[in-house]
Amino acid sequence: MSETTHIPAAQRPGTRALPEDLIDVVALLTAYREGHPDPSDPAQKVVFGTSGHRGSALKTSFNDDHIAAITQAVVEYRANKGIKGAVLVGKDTHALSGPAQDTAVQVLLGNDVEVKVDARDGYTPTPAVSHAILHLNAGRELAPSGFAVDGDNAGLVDGLVITPSHNPPADGGFKYNPPHGGPADTDATGWIAARANELLAAGLEGVHRVAAEDVAGHPKLGTFDFLDRYVTDLPRVVDLDAIRDAGVRIGADPMGGASVAYWGEIGQRHGLDLTVVNPEVDPTFGFMTLDWDGKIRMDCSSPNAMASLIERMTPDANGEAPFDVATGNDADADRHGIVTPDGGLMNPNHFLAVAIDYLYRHREQWPADAGVGKTLVSSSMIDRVAADLGRELVEVPVGFKWFVPGLLSGSGVFGGEESAGASFVQFDGGAWSTDKDGLLLCLLAAEIQAVTGQSPSQYYRDLMAMHGDPAYARIDAPATSEQKAALKALSPDDVTATELAGETILAALTNAPGNDAPIGGLKVVTQNAWFAARPSGTEDVYKIYAESFLGAEHLKRVQAEAQQIVDAVISA
């Protein structure tokens, strides 16, 4: 036995997981079936965050009861809205995703709802579900809420995506995408969560469900070829001809996730020089390298989780790397990681800035007045890029749902967030995916290489030469539940400080400038720096995002003074 087996996982970030780091899949699945939540325990209730309900069967927060209750609530929600079309159901490769899909399908069929699952009995990336919803609802004019403008929602389809994204292997996740194809808004998720918790408290009375043996052959059960639809339509949104003609060598790492079959099909069907560097699917994700805290986490923006791909991209003695661009995706492929031979793993903010600058200069059919969408905790490099492009900056709260109306209508052609999630519209301005699309952004990196002859890292260095070199970081600060509530309820008038790290405060924001929606916290802006503070939804901390164009030392001052400003306000 290696000596490393005696080293705690937290002390082994960036190294391959060892047997003792892996989950017991049998125990996890048993807990899913046999565990029953206590409806009076907040930790065991249904809670919808920005990406649906997440939990673990081992903590009695993601069990058969939860999924049955949530699915019944979704059935009732869509019935209230008059939606009678099929529900598309996709799952990722987490161990709990398959059983959760089984539960959901049984409840949908028990309510006489038409269901479409993957025609290949495989895994389905989040963006493939979103794209399929938009495809099947094509020709219908939808309001930003996702419902038909003419009020007739009967024929619309919507979807369920079963994934906890990049979360550890013991976790499960469950989210609802309305007919607009994107994440459900807070009105929908609030109603669904409340109703699901009522059903849990009632011992699932009111949940209708067919027996497992009655699913196969059920007249309401159908299939949809998500992979074929997605791969067939890709030339509408990314220049695959340029990638192929330039001979760009792509190394794609699905990280054991739902994109595994998609990357192989994309390369084969479109004639790309594309290698799937790790086609393995394993519910323990034992091939992963450990993240910063020793956990297995399929975070394609993390240098530790991406360590094996980064190492693989190291140039040899002749300066030659195996690929021109290497990419990673999380388990449901809604996030992207970009690795270049000359820059390693790109910071997500850096690639967002590159993507925006490139796209707005190379998509001639996009509306000339379409703005640049970013979340308010994304880098201000994007602000400077947008200004140089002569485009309006549309800054929204955290959460991809805020980009859905623009992507749906074509008025917002790009939306991106600092956590490595983004999507954009087709060449003709039509909607592609109203949820984050990691495969798309990875292919865009290859297009940038093909068209410009520069790696995305080289492209970013050019942007730095024009706009400056920002230092960016996120830290956590302790806060009680009362202090977190106070932070969430702040108004700009509560901030009395006039300076931040030696610069005059230009704005104190509690609503996003792009759509005036509450940000659930505070953002303070100066000429060359900013910070944003938001309460954590799961821990007794608040998160401080900060950035400075005056260097790393100035960033430290910004972070320290940000904590002082926030603490003074929420402790008053």
State the pLDDT at residue 539: 72
Same domain, 312 and 381: yes
Same domain, 200 and 337: no
State the pLDDT at residue 538: 65
Evaluate whether residue 10 is within a structural domain.
no
Give the separation between CA 27 and CA 361, rounded to whole angstroms. Answer: 52
Evaluate whether residue 287 is within a structural domain.
yes
Evaluate whether residue 29 is within a structural domain.
no
CATH code (residue 494): 3.30.310.50
19-29 confidence digits (pLDDT tens)? 999 999 999 99
Evaluate whether residue 20 is within a structural domain.
no
Same domain, 236 and 144: no
Same domain, 489 and 454: no
State the pLDDT at residue 2: 45
Same domain, 235 and 180: no
Among 208, 224, 240, where does a domain finish? 224
As a whole-number percent, the residues of the chain with pLDDT over 70 amount to: 99
Contact 84, 119 (CB under 8 A): no
As a whole-number percent, the residues of the chain with pLDDT over 90 amount to: 90
CATH code (residue 338): 3.40.120.10
Same domain, 254 and 240: yes
Evaluate whether residue 378 is within a structural domain.
yes
pLDDT band at 77 (very low <50, low <70, confident <90, very high): very high
171-213 confidence digits (pLDDT tens)? 999 999 999 999 999 999 999 999 999 999 999 999 999 999 9
Residues noted as catalytic: 165
| Residues contacting residue 186 through CB under 8 Å, at least 6 positions apart | 401
Give the separation between CA 111 and CA 8, rounded to whole angstroms. Answer: 48
Does residue 537 register a pLDDT over 90? Answer: no
280-289 confidence digits (pLDDT tens)? 999 999 999 9
Same domain, 166 and 214: yes
State the pLDDT at residue 146: 84
State the pLDDT at residue 377: 95
Give the separation between CA 113 and CA 45, rounded to whole angstroms. Answer: 25
Same domain, 242 and 211: no
Phi, psi of 368 (to 5 degrees): -65, -20
State the pLDDT at residue 49: 80
Same domain, 85 and 138: yes
112-143 confidence digits (pLDDT tens)? 999 999 999 999 999 999 999 999 999 998 98
Evaluate whether residue 24 is within a structural domain.
no
Does residue 572 register a pLDDT over 80? Answer: no
Same domain, 416 and 508: no
Work out how many domains the chain is built from and give that number. 3
Among 450, 467, 484, where does a domain finish? 467
Average pLDDT of the chain, as a whole number: 95
Give the separation between CA 545 and CA 527, rounded to whole angstroms. Answer: 16
Helices (H), 64-221: 64-80, 97-110, 126-136, 186-201
Same domain, 527 and 455: no
465-511 confidence digits (pLDDT tens)? 999 999 999 998 899 989 999 998 988 999 999 999 999 999 999 99
296-335 confidence digits (pLDDT tens)? 999 999 999 999 999 999 998 888 999 999 999 999 999 9
Mean pLDDT of 382-399: 96
What is the domain extent for residue 77? 35-224
State the pLDDT at residue 5: 52
Residue 106 or 52, more confident: 106
Instruction: Give the least confident one: 50-59, 372-381, 438-447, 461-470.
Output: 50-59
State the pLDDT at residue 1: 38
79-97 confidence digits (pLDDT tens)? 999 999 999 999 999 999 9
Name the pTM for this structure: 0.95
Among 206, 224, 242, where does a domain finish? 224
Evaluate whether residue 556 is within a structural domain.
yes
DSSP code, position 44: G
Same domain, 352 and 431: yes
Mean pLDDT of 8-14: 94
Evaluate whether residue 5 is within a structural domain.
no
Instruction: Give the least confident one: 262-266, 410-414, 443-447, 540-544.
Output: 540-544
